[in-house]
Structure 1
Amino acid sequence: MNLKVRDLPNFICIGSQRAGTTWLHNCLDEHPEVFVPAEKELHFFDRFYDTGLASYTERFMLTQRGSAKTWGELTPNYYQEPQALERIKRDIPDVKIIYILRQPAERAFSQYQLYSQGQFSGMSFEEVIANKEFVTDLSMQGKHLQRLYSLFDSSQVLVLFYDELSQSPETFLKKVFAFLQVDPDFMPSTLNKRINRVVLPDLQARLAKWKLTWVIELVKASPIAEWVKEVAHKKSDKLGKSAFPNALSGRFDEDIKLIEQILDIDLNHWR
């Protein structure tokens, strides 16, 4: 078998942003039959494609993945990048795709919270919605789902909902494991851990760019981590969640309808 083909991932989680992909990465990392690179969000198909497939397959080589039955990655930017999905289809046509959907207004507000101390500093949620179109575009998951199904057979795609992750993480995870054809009864220690909100995202992004993600892990493992989380949570509680129904009233109705049509389900509780 060609080395590049053998070492390409069996699965990719493409999104959505702010829909539990970090939690899922941690759970998959614990499963003895699954290999994911330590670095979440490789961004190969959207940012680093020019480096070539050889550099990508190095992340999944036998020396890296050991005895794992399946291996893959999670980059929640891929779903919004048509070119990324087209590249995945061309290079790994049989890959399994995981796509997590989240109630669009909640997803948008979660992103606002994420960047409230960075690029959205000093802006209300309504101001962000009015001036930062990409925030609402990332919540238009119906159009992204439609594009996904135009490229991949439905048997290759697992669509999940953040609602279920929040309410029944064990059931959610069993679906993922079954889809990947690994032991569905394995339950990782991270199963019921709080899904951490990212603190100081701009700083974290810079550290990742400079290959200094170990600094983030060092802080997480230190006593200061709980203090940082507490400050961040207090900050987010003051961001005015009550504003988002008015700011987004009716904006996602057509996109929600599209998801309902594609998946043949009722999402009236999302409206």
Structure 2
Amino acid sequence: MSILLVSTLQTKLDRLQTKIKQKGLSFRLLFRKAGVRLNPKNPWSHYHLAKCLLELKRWQDAEVVYRKTLELNPEIALAHHELGDILQKRKQWSQAVHCYQQAIQHDNQFSWSFHNLGDALKELEQWHEAADAYHQAAERNPDFFATHSHLADVLMRLQDWLGAVAAYRQALRLNPQHFESLYNLAAALEQLGDRPAVAETYLKLIPLKPDFPWYYYSFFWKTLQAEERLTEAEAAYRQALSLDSNNIEIYINLGDTLIHQKRIPDSLPYYENALDIKLSRHYPSLLESRRNNPDFKAKANRLDFIILGAQKAGTSSLYAYMAQHPDIVPALRKEVEFWSWKFYRGLDWYFAHFPQIPEGSHLQTGEACPGYLDFYETAERLRETLPHVKLIVLLRNPVDRAISHYHHWVRRNQEPLPLEEAIEAKIQEIEDKGRVWRIHSNYMARGVYVEFLKHWFSVFPREQFLILKSEDFYEDPGRSLEQVYEFIGLPNYQLSSYKKYNSGQYSPAEVSIRKKIAEFYQPYNQELSQLLNADFTWEL
């Protein structure tokens, strides 16, 4: 029997089983409804009906029946627990906590109630209570991976590094190839200063996801370099490439491994190969024109535009939308960071990340690197090599930008402090240093846009800049893109939809914290409005 036939038969069988199950649930639902009609005072009749509705994912109906069950008998632990599950799905965290606590009161041996209680408490950022719930769950079921993993995540927030390491290791004993737990284990070990163990953990991550974009995680490369483990990383990436020779990210990671060994010339072919694979998939005619034309000449000025920033202001989305324009050929990666941190690598390395566009072509290319805006030397460096490049800047309400940046760092284990403490520490650092330049680890400093733009305007003519409000871009991306295309000299090109890229989910900050941040930025925003001759004061 052919593989195709077997696959087709299996698909049909799976569909048949699904239909049987659905019909079975429908018959059970009728049966349970009849049971409630016959025994309206029996709480178990209601419970079984609620359970059936739960399986059918009819959350609202199930909630009503579970509440009726508990009205008749408030001591049914499973009813409390399953009602809690429904409330979790509906993100009603406080009510879910109450339900799980009631379930535990009536049955304190069911590990799932403790585990799910921990999940709900974590959403409420009640870290100590969540940790206790997970500990209780782990005592009752020590072989459940997720309990140890979630416990470790909470202990990280509590800065209990030793406890987090122990919990992650217990989780990895149960699931040794869980990438996120290994990554977070490395972060906890970093906090303990155990660099050899961090490097060992990083090396275990490479074969699990050889295409993971480590380019954005400087600790990874710094640790492997400091512990002299880069040759092992190189061997791991070469092995991965032998198994998947068309994977763009593996080529990039191998090139980066060589870069950190200061083997810049050796790295260039890997970036160029990665770029050729990308072009072969999306712009084959451009690749063929270069390969088949012995007289091929690329544009002397190879970049047409750069999105300078700001960070967490929508640059990822803007660049992703622009990359879909038929006349724009994007870079190998969105952020090359050459004109800031990686300038020492040389222009050959930089231009290896961009397509070679033939002389006279209407095609354009560029990058988006929000770290350029507040890196002092970038403006002068750019002027020397790309004096006519078009510069695009997105400016987001600095209050929202700072809070977003804070949560971004929390997700990457780079910020252990609660929001209010973290903001106060960053403001204090600015006041102590008396400046906002050259403190790149300070996300409050990065919202003082006026200081950065004054310097850029002193280096480049004002007409080479397009300054957009992020809020306008979020509200009407099509209109903002129309302005962008007019600015860089391309015909307008509208997309059918505008997906948001690189956006994080987090709870809103308290009004008092927002006011504190807004007060800090107020004089800078007023000066910015004067500089740009437009309203950039933003509302709270």
After TM superposition, the score normalised by the length of structure 2 is 0.40
| 1:258–1:43 distance in 2 versus 1, CA, 3 Å | same
- Distance between the aligned counterparts of 1:82 and 1:16, measured in 2? 14
| Pair 1:11-2:280 in alignment | no
| Pair 1:252-2:521 in alignment | yes
| 1:116–1:250 distance in 2 versus 1, CA, 3 Å | same
Matches within 5 A, 1:144-223: 144-184=452-492, 186-189=493-496, 191-197=497-503
Give the corresponding residue for 2:531.
Answer: 262
Deviation for aligned residue 1:35? 1.7
The answer to whether the 8 A contact 2:299-2:358 is kept is no
Give the corresponding residue for 2:444.
Answer: 136
- Distance between the aligned counterparts of 1:56 and 1:75, measured in 2? 13
Deviation for aligned residue 1:266? 2.4
The answer to whether the 8 A contact 2:478-2:495 is kept is no
| Pair 1:93-2:387 in alignment | yes
- Distance between the aligned counterparts of 2:359 and 2:402, measured in 1? 35
Q: Which has the higher contact order (CA 8 A, sep 6+)?
A: 1
Task: Please give the per-residue CA displacement for 1:99-138, whole angstroms capped at 9, x wherever unaligned.
Answer: 11111111101101211231123x2211111223411110
Task: Please give the per-residue CA displacement for 1:191-226, whole angstroms capped at 9, x wherever unaligned.
Answer: 42133325xxxxxxxxxxxxxxxxxxxxxxxxxxxx
Give the corresponding residue for 1:216.
Answer: none
The answer to whether the 8 A contact 1:69-1:182 is kept is no
Deviation for aligned residue 1:244? 2.9
Q: 1:73 aligns with which of 353, 363, 367?
A: 367
- Distance between the aligned counterparts of 2:298 and 2:372, measured in 1? 21
- Distance between the aligned counterparts of 2:359 and 2:532, measured in 1? 34
- Distance between the aligned counterparts of 2:523 and 2:509, measured in 1? 26
Q: Aligned with 1:43: secondary structure?
A: coil
1:252 is matched by which residue type in structure 2?
Y
The answer to whether the 8 A contact 1:109-1:244 is kept is no
Task: Please give the per-residue CA displacement for 1:30-87, whole angstroms capped at 9, x wherever unaligned.
Answer: 1110122131110011121111112212222426999652111110000000111211
After TM superposition, the score normalised by the length of structure 1 is 0.77
Q: 2:327 aligns with which of 33, 43, 54?
A: 33
Structure number with higher strand proportion: 1
| 1:102–1:243 distance in 2 versus 1, CA, 3 Å | same
From the CA coordinates, give the structure whose radius of gyration is larger: 2
| 1:149–1:31 distance in 2 versus 1, CA, 3 Å | same
| 1:5–1:52 distance in 2 versus 1, CA, 3 Å | farther
The answer to whether the 8 A contact 1:126-1:243 is kept is no
Structure number with higher helix proportion: 2
| 1:66–1:40 distance in 2 versus 1, CA, 3 Å | farther
| 1:246–1:90 distance in 2 versus 1, CA, 3 Å | same
The answer to whether the 8 A contact 1:89-1:151 is kept is yes
Q: 1:120 aligns with which of 415, 420, 437?
A: 415
The answer to whether the 8 A contact 1:17-1:76 is kept is yes
- Distance between the aligned counterparts of 2:454 and 2:299, measured in 1? 27
Give the corresponding residue for 2:347.
Answer: 53
- Distance between the aligned counterparts of 1:102 and 1:29, measured in 2? 22
- Distance between the aligned counterparts of 1:124 and 1:56, measured in 2? 38
1:266 is matched by which residue type in structure 2?
D
- Distance between the aligned counterparts of 2:379 and 2:453, measured in 1? 11
| 1:93–1:5 distance in 2 versus 1, CA, 3 Å | farther
Deviation for aligned residue 1:188? 2.9
Q: Aligned with 1:138: secondary structure?
A: helix
The answer to whether the 8 A contact 2:301-2:386 is kept is no
- Distance between the aligned counterparts of 1:45 and 1:73, measured in 2? 11
In angstroms, what is the RMSD of aligned CA positions? 2.4
Q: Aligned with 2:366: secondary structure?
A: strand
Deviation for aligned residue 1:270? 3.7
Tell me how many residue pairs correspond in the alignment.
Answer: 229
Range with greater deviation from structure 2 (245-254 or 60-69): 60-69
Give unmatched runs, 5+ long, in structure 2: 1-296, 430-441
Q: Aligned with 2:535: secondary structure?
A: coil
Task: Please give the per-residue CA displacement for 1:230-257, whole angstroms capped at 9, x wherever unaligned.
Answer: xxx3xx12x6353432331411112111
